[in-house]
Structure 1
Amino acid sequence: MPDSTPSRSYLQVWDDTVTLRDLLLSLVITTTLCLGGYILAPERPPLPLMLGLGGALLGFMISAVAFRPKRRVDEEPSSGVNTKSPVDTDQEA
């Protein structure tokens, strides 16, 4: 995959392409908001869980907006569609 920025190195994480810098920054943002919500919540039973999950969701949304995808999709024209099912091809042999 050629890229216009040759100085960046990319990582594959869960079948997606990311830069190490963006990955680490998004982890720091999400972890900070998640733990901040959990620690700062009053000690009544459901509040730490709910504020921790809310912090994780807010961190995810911030990271999704702040860091754009690095993928590039190249489409190749197909040479034809195979209309036979795998069962049909096994029976012909």
Structure 2
Amino acid sequence: MSQADEQYVEIWGDRVSMRDLVLALAVTAAATVAAVVVGRALGSSEFFWGLGGAVVGFGASMALVRPKRDVRIVADEDTEAGPPPA
């Protein structure tokens, strides 16, 4: 499947790939659940372990899913000419 054929959904005014969204959510959820299980096994605060797992999952998601946006900065001719004469 090419990028042109891929399905996108609009979330908060931005278009995202469903495949990448589901992958990122699954990685973050798995890391969070694993951290809570570790916290429970150690008998410490599951809440903070879960927060740490969510942060680790978010970082892993950032590494796995790359942006597909192509940003080009184009100079405006009016701004290069300087301020208008007084």
Q: Which TM-score applies when normalising by structure 1?
A: 0.66
Identity of aligned residues (%): 30
Q: Note if contact 1:17-1:71 (Cα within 8 Å) is conserved in structure 2.
A: no
Q: How many residues align?
A: 79
Gaps of 5+ in 2: none
Gaps of 5+ in 1: 85-93
Q: 2:71 and 2:12 mapped to 1: Cα distance?
A: 17
* Counterpart in the other structure of 2:60: 62
Out of 16, 19, 28, which is 1:18 matched to? 16
**What amino acid is the match of 2:19?**
R
Q: 2:63 and 2:77 mapped to 1: Cα distance?
A: 38
Measured after TM superposition, the shift of residue 33 of structure 1 is: 1.4
What per-residue deviation string (whole Å, max 9, x for no partner) do you get for residues 7-40 of structure 1? 1233343455421101011101101211232244
1:74 and 1:68, CA in 2 relative to 1: closer, same or farther beyond 3 A? same
CA RMSD of aligned residues (A): 2.5
Q: Which TM-score applies when normalising by structure 2?
A: 0.70
Structure with the greater alpha carbon radius of gyration: 1
Q: 2:15 and 2:68 mapped to 1: Cα distance?
A: 6
* Counterpart in the other structure of 1:74: 72
